[in-house]
Amino acid sequence: MSAEPAGRPSDPVPGAVPEVVFDADTHVAPASFTDLSPLLSPYWRDYALGAALRVDPVQAGAYPPAMVEGPDPHDVATLRAAVLDPPAPGGGRVTTAVLTCTTAFDVSRNHAFEAALCRAVNTWVAQRFLDHEPRARGSVAVPLGDPAAAVAEIEHWADDPRFVQVLLPVRGHDLRWGHPVFRPVLAAAAAAGLVVTLHAWGRVGSAPTTTGFTHTYLQDYLSHGQVAQSQLVSLVAEGALGALPGLRVTVAECGSS
């Protein structure tokens, strides 16, 4: 067997600057609830005000110390300065950034409010970033408590090519995402050509490990890798990937990077 010739066209050139830099998980967040209030109906604005709901654009408590320097970008100028315009690792510049709104909200069990909030978040991403920055792409946030409302949210944005994925948290329910109750949500994503991305965090109501709840922050933080594995096993073992051959799934954070 002869050795392959050196310097093939497909080989990377040492020191070369890559032409395309793709940031698959660029966090953005409203600076406060007032960013979203104009996008809610008067009823839900009163609901949020009466419940004193808030958002946390920093989420410093969700990460180990010193990992978070400040709030995520909340406008296009900050996004450009923080992510799009500076040199990326390797020397190039980001040519496409997939925006992930990972703002921490107060937990609400009201599925109708959750649907309204997701619509407001997705509209905020479109108006604040996608309308002004061609390098940005969006993620469709969907309500977790009502699969039919999640399908409706996916279908609402399906014809907007700037949205490229559906965002699902790895910690959502006692039922995993492969369970048949969520099959319409996955089917809607596949039909729209959107990737389903399982992102770290979410609701903390279900135990993250096979032996129950954790007792320290470090355990909870590291358990996301186990939760992601269980979600992927569910998608395979409960037949979601077999039933939906066009479904594409990725995992963001959770130790996979």
Lowest mean pLDDT among 9-23, 29-43, 90-104: 9-23
Neighbours of 173 (CB within 10 A): 16
Residue 2 pLDDT:
38
More confident residue, 38 or 106: 38
Residue 4 pLDDT:
38
Q: Where are the beta strands (DSSP E) in 61-194?
A: 96-101, 104-105, 136-141, 163-171
Judged against a pLDDT cut of 90, whether residue 92 lies above it is answered with: no
Give the integer Cα–Cα distance in Å for 29 and 105: 11
How far is C-alpha 40 from the geometric centre of its chain's CA atoms? 21
Residue 62 pLDDT:
60
More confident residue, 206 or 233: 233
Cβ atoms 98, 165 nearer than 8 A:
yes
Per-residue pLDDT tens over the stretch 205-219: 677 777 888 888 788
Residue 147 pLDDT:
94
Per-residue pLDDT tens over the stretch 122-150: 999 999 999 999 999 999 999 988 999 99
Residue 168 pLDDT:
93
DSSP 170: E
How far is C-alpha 192 from the geometric centre of its chain's CA atoms? 17
The two structure tokens encoding residue 194? 């959107």
Judged against a pLDDT cut of 60, whether residue 19 lies above it is answered with: yes
Query: Bridge-partner residues for 99, per DSSP?
Result: 26
Give the integer Cα–Cα distance in Å for 163 and 125: 10
Give the integer Cα–Cα distance in Å for 205 and 53: 19
- The pair phi, psi for residue 127, each rounded to 5°, is -75, -35
Give the integer Cα–Cα distance in Å for 98 and 163: 9
Query: pLDDT band at residue 38, thresholds of 50, 70 and 90?
Result: very high
pLDDT over 90 percentage in the chain: 53
Per-residue pLDDT tens over the stretch 167-216: 998 887 778 899 999 999 999 999 999 999 999 887 666 777 778 888 88
Cβ atoms 121, 40 nearer than 8 A:
no
